[in-house]
Amino acid sequence: MDTVRLIEVKEDIRADNNRVAKELNEDLTRSKTFLVNLMASPGAGKTTTLLATLARIKNQLSVAVIEADIDSKVDAEKIADSGVEALQIRTGGFCHLDATMVKAGLAGIDYGRFDLIFLENVGNLVCPAEFETGAHLNAMILSVPEGDDKPLKYPLMFSVCRVLLINKIDYLQLSDFNVELFKDRVLAINPEITIFEISAKTGQGVEAWTQWLLNRIKDTCPA
């Protein structure tokens, strides 16, 4: 009997994606364009948080947003209505962005014109964590109504992110969400992560997160 050949497609795809992501990150750094990959579950408040963040920085930096969704442009229209340039990527059924998709999106907005670009990734806590995008910063949002057990269920997402925004803290009095227990669970997975408690709706904590981001941009892509 002939020997059956085995091809590890998933690993080959991931290796190729990582190569494209590395090249893209280097290109972005040379152009002094800082890229943030923003990830969260549906309903966590990605777009609302993004709008609150943009309101505080769009007069300081040139900013654009790349929105990713399976089949919608609703969020991109909200961003454009706020006065920030937006581009929509329809992933055609894929539940994540990969580096090749991001590269195409960046080419579509001539990324060298911008100091900062946000990727609003497809809403889920699984697939987006598995694919490098070329971003300088992986950021995630976890909202209070989702519960404090999510680090136990989706550890990879928490491990790949440099910053975590606990959103909808205005709901804490209506919830059994334990902030300290949640933080302990997150830090057990990723001791280097920075955590902010915010309410995108009321603005609480958004200024601290925004200032932290501006400092990161200055350190990574100095003018």
Asked whether the predicted pLDDT for residue 38 surpasses 90, the reply is yes
Asked whether the predicted pLDDT for residue 5 surpasses 80, the reply is no
Amino acid in the structure at residue 222? P
Q: How confident is the model at residue 36 (pLDDT cuts 50, 70, 90)?
A: very high
Q: What is the pLDDT of residue 3?
A: 55
Mean pLDDT in residue range 206-212: 98
Q: Looking at domain 13-220, which of 3.40.50.300, 3.40.30.20, 3.90.1200.10, 3.30.420.40 is its CATH number? A: 3.40.50.300
Mean pLDDT in residue range 107-114: 92
Asked whether the predicted pLDDT for residue 205 surpasses 50, the reply is yes
User: Shortest CA distance to 200 belongs to which of 144, 149, 117?
Assistant: 144
Q: What is the pLDDT of residue 1?
A: 47
Mean pLDDT in residue range 206-223: 93
Residue burial 83-108, b: 16+ Cβ < 10 Å; e: rest = ebbbbbbebeeeebbbbbbbbebbee
C-alpha 164/C-alpha 209 separation (Å) is 10
Q: Poorest-confidence range of 6-10, 37-41, 181-185, 186-190?
A: 6-10
Q: What is the pLDDT of residue 113?
A: 94
C-alpha 179/C-alpha 147 separation (Å) is 10
Q: What is the pLDDT of residue 11?
A: 53
The angle subtended at Cα 167 by Cα 89 and Cα 212, nearest 5°, is 80
95 or 172, which is more confident? 172
**pLDDT per position as a tens digit, 183-197:** 999 999 999 999 999
Q: What is the pTM of this model?
A: 0.91
Asked whether the predicted pLDDT for residue 72 surpasses 70, the reply is no
Q: How confident is the model at residue 8 (pLDDT cuts 50, 70, 90)?
A: very low
Asked whether the predicted pLDDT for residue 62 surpasses 50, the reply is yes
Q: What is the pLDDT of residue 88?
A: 87
The structural domains of the chain, with segments of one domain joined by +, span: 13-220
From residue 174, alpha-carbon distances to 11, 44, 195 in Å are 44, 16, 21
